Amino acid sequence: MNFPLLNATCTSAEWGTPYYDVTIKFDAQSIRARGLLMSSHKITVSVIKADVGSYPGHGTVHPKQMEVARDSLEVAKKQGLLIDYFVTHAGDDLELIMTHRRGENDSKIHELAWSTFKEVTEKVSKPLKLYGAGQDLLAEAFSGNVKGMGPGVAEMEFEERRSDPLLVFMADKTEPGAWNLPLFRIFADPFNTAGLIIDPALHGGFTFEILDVMEDQSVRIRCPEETYDLLALIGTSARYVISKIYRNDGMPAAAASTSRLSLIAGRYVGKDDPVCIVRAQHGLPAVGEVLEPFAFPHLVAGWMRGSHHGPLMPVSIADTQNRVTRFDGPPRVVGAGFQISDGRLVGPADMFGDPAFDRARQVANEITDYMRRHGPFMPHRLGPEEMEYTTLPEVLEKLKTRFKKEQVAATAA
């Protein structure tokens, strides 16, 4: 049966949220229906971060910076752009955790993050003369998407489940490849994740999207079938970084930031200090399986002057642990745990603020002592390929003219 349509409009309210207005003629009456037109009931979690200044030196974010960021996101929440937000920091990186229904790479959400970082820089970092005020804002003006402009971005759009636990990991003094080892262990290593063996919902495995940051191209690798291919790539963590993970039936499971600041700026501008979102439970790895790899403080690149290998130390979000000190480090990761409830962020729980991670911190401190004793020698200091993106080449340049060709010894007549 066909009903004559009297009128139908789809338009945009403030912030561009679409709504519909339809009138249908039914017998002698007409029925009018109006409402929000969501592309779906999907929720998007956007974690966008930047170092816009810190104290002392590259140590930690100032409480005033967090306050200004919160005020900015509160306005966006009141206007309906955001459903919810949480502002925190990892060492000297300001972290905006936001939920909304606008999907990934949305220009309004990215613009909100960009203008928030700008505002924090102008209102707090510059007046307080914080160190490196606005350092990660590499572009003059916002142009549609913060990717490639300095800030790091991890985003995931998904259908909210009946109960949806979500963990956000935020690292300081390291690079996106730091997630390769823990993400592999969470989603592909049965010695870490018991569910890969025991739970039929996980047994089908996961697909990893890998970005080649040098060539700007990506590839999807399906596990467990292609586990060795995956490891062949992601073992080179400075170049091949995990950007997304999906359960093999398509369910989004994890997303990580992949930007390499030095590749954007063409010079050393600090490490990228990546973020990562992982969903957990009920057909995905359990929260404890997600946290387990961080009990091993594996070696990552970053630390002092972005030029050294050191252990990734899991620390509490609480201020005493969440600021770098020794040799500007060691590199560290904080974890915030939430339940998503109709897009609201219930939490956070301080995932590494637990005595169960004391031993990992102790091991990380032992590794710190051991690595530091190498001073300027590799493998503590990064290899020549990675050092190309630091200030070392300027030093080597000075010595260039002093090199003399070795004379080949005259052979005896």
Q: Site residues (CB under 5 A) for Mg ion?
A: 51, 54, 58, 92-93, 132, 172, 273
Distance CA 294, CA 169 (A): 10
From 55, 240, 246, 268, the catalytic residue: 268
Identify any residues that bridge with 256 across adjacent strands, giving them in sequence order: 276
Per DSSP, helices labelled H in 158-226 are 180-188, 195-198, 200-203
Name the amino acid, one letter, at 360.
A
Q: Among Mg ion, ligand F6R, none, what binds residue 93 when CB lies within 5 to 8 Å by partner kind?
A: Mg ion
Distance CA 365, CA 377 (A): 19
Q: Provide the phi-psi class of 250: left if phi over 0, else alpha when psi is between -120 and 50, else beta.
A: left
Q: Which stretch binds ligand F6R (CB under 6 A): 75-83, 141-149, 233-241, 304-312?
A: 304-312
Q: Which stretch binds ligand F6R (CB under 6 A): 181-189, 238-246, 301-309, 401-409?
A: 301-309
129 catalytic per annotation: no
Identify any residues that bridge with 155 across adjacent strands, giving them in sequence order: 46
Smaller CB separation from ligand F6R, 57 or 127: 57
DSSP H or E run through 31: strand 29-36
Burial class of residue 161 in the structure, from the number of CB atoms within 10 Å of its CB (0-12 exposed, 13-18 middle, 19+ buried): middle
- The only residue of 100, 271, 332, 380 in contact with ligand F6R, by rule CB under 6 A: 271
**150 lines the binding site for ligand F6R (CB under 6 A):** no
Total binding residues for ligand F6R by CB under 6 A?
A: 9
DSSP summary character for residue 80: T
Smaller CB separation from Mg ion, 254 or 275: 275
Smaller CB separation from ligand F6R, 171 or 234: 171
123 catalytic per annotation: no
Q: Among ligand F6R, Mg ion, none, what binds residue 260 when CB lies within 5 to 8 Å by partner kind?
A: none
Smaller CB separation from Mg ion, 195 or 330: 330
271 catalytic per annotation: yes
**332 lines the binding site for ligand F6R (CB under 6 A):** no
Strand, coil or helix: what is 304? Answer: helix
CB of 87 to Mg ion, least distance (A): 16
Instruction: Read off the tokens for 140.
Output: 């003059």
Instruction: Read off the tokens for 388.
Output: 């190309």
- The only residue of 252, 270, 293, 311 in contact with ligand F6R, by rule CB under 6 A: 270
Smaller CB separation from ligand F6R, 44 or 174: 174
Alpha-carbon distances of 186 from 20, 64, 228, 279, 287, rounded to whole Å: 42, 36, 16, 11, 10
Residue nearest ligand F6R, Cβ-based: 328
66 contacts 94 by C-beta, under 8 angstroms: yes
Smaller CB separation from Mg ion, 61 or 76: 61
DSSP summary character for residue 204: T
- The only residue of 49, 110, 173, 332 in contact with ligand F6R, by rule CB under 6 A: 173
**63 lines the binding site for ligand F6R (CB under 6 A):** no
- The only residue of 46, 49, 58, 121 in contact with ligand F6R, by rule CB under 6 A: 58
Distance CA 412, CA 275 (A): 64
Residues known to be catalytic? 51, 268, 271
Where along the sequence are the contacts to ligand F6R (CB under 6 A)? 57-58, 173, 270-271, 304-306, 328
